[in-house]
């Protein structure tokens, strides 16, 4: 039977980052630190989680579960199965792996006993040549235990002739295409690696003499770690039990292309990303949006929670009052009610409720981070009109999402993306709103600190979901017939 949390009847119609990773070396009860870090990264993956640790007395231990960190990794009965001073963890949605009841085999971290010692590995991102690598490895005798693209890394490491785990990992990752932030461990070391373009984030911190690597700075905050710096694109860091940290450069240097949507939606607003407060960046996006697409209105209302900072910025720049016109029910979980057809029809009303006293009789600007399929946007518009709004205007804090992401984001097929098949005016009519405006791609670049906007000849970020310009050719997708325009 498919786990109930995968049948979410309250579809929020958002792009979903696929994974969060966390690792620490040099502390007692490292798994407890990892559990806290994964809890802070829960927004990056709510389907399943796992922890692997090593202890000199007990050896390797692992725990993998479906569902939330708070439900699975807070009891001593679980954490006592993963003792030791070094541990890594992972929370996930799924892209390449299966989503059925047997998919516990796809829950990371993965472990392998290699020629020169055991290693565990957790991966955020997506390997765009995984199909080709898997075929090659199987033909050469590898036996895969999962359907996850991340397992390719373990098998590539096993075939490497290098004599240390970090060197084997360098060998393996040089064969990999796509986007990856990898956290790995041996019995005595913690390893963090970021792909040459730096598409997916990875940060480095310290607790006393212990080092931490994580997807975001908010995961450092929860364990009281000092934020040292980002792991640079194309960098490998190796931390040991005694607090030693070394940096390596296993790849040829390339121009940085980190994911711009991390600034818009994926990262938590209390994180620091590329030296900038995510919250302040999103507020700046709202201000830029107000300059580009003003609206004659009485009230600016965020679509909670992801639209809130942008709505605050929009209201401040436009002079239109800000109000919490939509209230989110924080206690609706994925297993609140069995998803019968009647409950499905209630849809978004179980998560969001309109503040009628604030909305009635007003021209309302709704600010959201994105429009993907448009299903939730239509429902929210209907709720606001039912509450007595005179007009509804949508302002979107990202450009139209017209292309799928192949770098670790759960994106619908292109024909399911509203912006891929409709003009902005068509989308406005489809949603049934008085106006619909998106921030321009140049405006988004300005808001994240690029004063001159997007460099058309050499884009500063990965913005493929908006532009269709893929910085790494998605080889497997191209082999299946997906057409990609050259940058």
- Cα 124 to the chain's mean position, in Å? 8
C-alpha to C-alpha distance for 129 and 110, rounded to whole angstroms: 19
What contacts 163, CB < 8 A, 6 or more positions away?
A: 116
Single out the catalytic residue among 19, 152, 259, 405.
19
Q: Where are the alpha helices (DSSP H) in 347-449?
A: 356-359, 375-386, 418-421, 424-431, 441-447
Q: Is 311 exposed, middle or buried (0-12, 13-18, 19+ CB in 10 A)?
A: buried
- Reported residue count of the chain is 487
Q: How far is CA 278 from CA 65, 152, 212, 407, in A?
A: 30, 33, 21, 21
Q: Is 133 helix (H, G, I), strand (E, B) or coil?
A: helix
Phi, psi of 145 (to 5 degrees): -105, -10
| Residue 19 appears among annotated catalytic residues | yes
The residue ranges of DSSP E strands in 81-148, in sequence order, are 86-92, 110-114, 117-127
- Type and span of the H or E element at 206: strand 203-207
C-alpha to C-alpha distance for 441 and 433, rounded to whole angstroms: 22
Other beta carbons within 10 Å of 316: 15
**N-to-C CA span, the chain:** 44
Radius of gyration of the chain (CA): 23
The residues that bridge with 248 in the sheet, in sequence order, are: 236
C-alpha to C-alpha distance for 469 and 374, rounded to whole angstroms: 23
- Type and span of the H or E element at 286: helix 278-292
C-alpha to C-alpha distance for 300 and 325, rounded to whole angstroms: 8
C-alpha to C-alpha distance for 253 and 267, rounded to whole angstroms: 26
Look up tokens 């559990």; give the residue: 35
C-alpha to C-alpha distance for 204 and 216, rounded to whole angstroms: 9
Helix pair angle (375-386, 424-431), 10° resolution: 50
Give the catalytic positions in this structure. Answer: 19
């Amino acid at each position: 039977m498919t786990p109930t949390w995968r049948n979410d009847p309250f579809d929020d119609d958002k792009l979903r980052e696929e994974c969060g990773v966390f690792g620490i070396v040099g502390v007692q009860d490292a798994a407890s630190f990892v559990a806290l870090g994964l809890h802070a990264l829960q927004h990056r993956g709510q389907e399943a989680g796992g922890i692997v640790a090593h202890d000199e007395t007990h050896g390797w231990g692992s725990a993998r579960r479906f569902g939330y960190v708070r439900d699975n990794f807070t009891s001593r009965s679980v954490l006592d199965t993963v003792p030791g001073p070094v541990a890594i963890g992972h929370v996930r949605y799924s892209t390449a792996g299966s989503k059925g009841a047997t998919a516990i085999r796809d829950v990371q971290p993965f472990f392998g006993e290699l020629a020169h010692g055991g290693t565990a590995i957790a991966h955020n991102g997506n390997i765009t040549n995984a199909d080709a690598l898997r075929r090659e490895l199987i033909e050469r005798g590898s036996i895969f235990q999962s359907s996850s693209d991340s397992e390719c890394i373990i098998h590539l490491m096993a075939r490497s002739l290098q004599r240390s785990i970090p060197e084997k990992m360098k060998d393996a990752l040089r064969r990999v295409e796509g986007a990856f932030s990898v956290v790995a461990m041996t019995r005595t070391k913690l390893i963090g690696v970021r792909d040459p373009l730096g598409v997916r984030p990875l940060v480095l911190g310290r607790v006393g003499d212990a080092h931490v690597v994580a997807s975001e700075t908010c995961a450092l905050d929860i364990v009281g770690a000092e934020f040292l710096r980002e792991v640079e694109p194309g960098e490998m860091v190796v931390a040991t039990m005694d607090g030693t940290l070394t940096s390596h450069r296993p790849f040829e240097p390339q121009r940085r292309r980190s994911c711009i949507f991390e600034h818009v939606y994926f990262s938590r607003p209390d994180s620091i990303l590329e030296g900038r407060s995510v919250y302040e960046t999103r507020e700046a996006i709202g201000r830029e949006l107000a300059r580009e697409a003003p609206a004659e209105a009485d009230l600016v209302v965020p679509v909670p929670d992801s639209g809130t900072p942008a709505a605050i910025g929009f209201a401040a720049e436009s002079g239109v009052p800000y109000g919490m016109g939509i209230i989110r029910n924080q206690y609706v979980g994925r297993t609140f009610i069995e998803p019968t057809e009647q409950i499905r029809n209630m849809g978004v009303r179980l998560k969001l409720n309109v503040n009628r006293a604030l909305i009635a009789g007003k021209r309302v600007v709704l600010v959201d981070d994105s429009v993907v399929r448009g299903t939730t946007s239509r429902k929210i518009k209907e709720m606001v009109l039912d509450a007595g709004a005179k007009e509804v205007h949508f302002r979107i804090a990202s450009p139209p999402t017209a292309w799928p992401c192949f770098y670790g984001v759960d994106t619908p097929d292109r024909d399911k993306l509203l912006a891929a098949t409709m003009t902005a005016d068509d989308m406005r009519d489809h949603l049934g709103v008085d106006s619909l405006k998106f921030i321009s791609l140049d405006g988004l670049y300005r808001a994240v600190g690029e004063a001159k906007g997007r460099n058309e000849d050499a884009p500063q970020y990965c913005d493929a979901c908006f532009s269709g310009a893929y910085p790494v050719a998605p080889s497997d997708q191209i082999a299946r017939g997906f057409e990609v325009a050259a940058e």
